Amino acid sequence: MKCLTTPLTDEVINDLKAGDEAFLNGIIYTARDAAHKKLIELINQDTPLPFPLEGQIIYYVGPTPAPPGMVIGAAGPTTSSRLDLYTPTLLKAGLKGMIGKGKRNKEAIDAIKKYKAIYFVAIGGAGALLSKCIYEAKLIAYPELGPEAIYKLKVRDLPVFVGNDIYGNDLYEIGRLRYQHASCP
């Protein structure tokens, strides 16, 4: 188990391999489809972003409203493939990590390798549990998007797996091959 602190550095990313288990600590940002579209528009217009991308992680999540006594509601990952279209541009602009669920397409995986970034997988269906790792949530951009607004989250021991590393390894392919050849003794 690796304990990682944001922002991510090349040295940390170089040591991560698909399948590694990790706990994330520090600041991460939320963004889903609508927010990604707005970020790409700003990049294309060479306009400042609502947060610096360099070394940062975007969590593909649209958290539910916070219940009484909590800083955030359920915060489970959304399907990452929906954001693959935006991934190369964001990585080129300095983003170093993403958190979501599910397999990435070839273009996203190639961009992860090219720009030396990392894709983390969080467990889908565990949003209530994952929200307990978030101890601060601050809306920083696009409140009109509701749960798809961009939040700055402070996290402690957020459990993730490395899905895709800078070496081209893919947890989903590794797992498929492992089970394809497995049998009970």
Catalytic residues: 36
The residue with tokens 């990585």 is 91
DSSP-derived 3-state class of residue 10: helix
Q: Which helix (H) or strand (E) holds 178?
A: helix 171-180
34: left (phi over 0), alpha (psi -120 to 50) or beta: alpha
Q: What is the Cα gyration radius of the chain?
A: 16
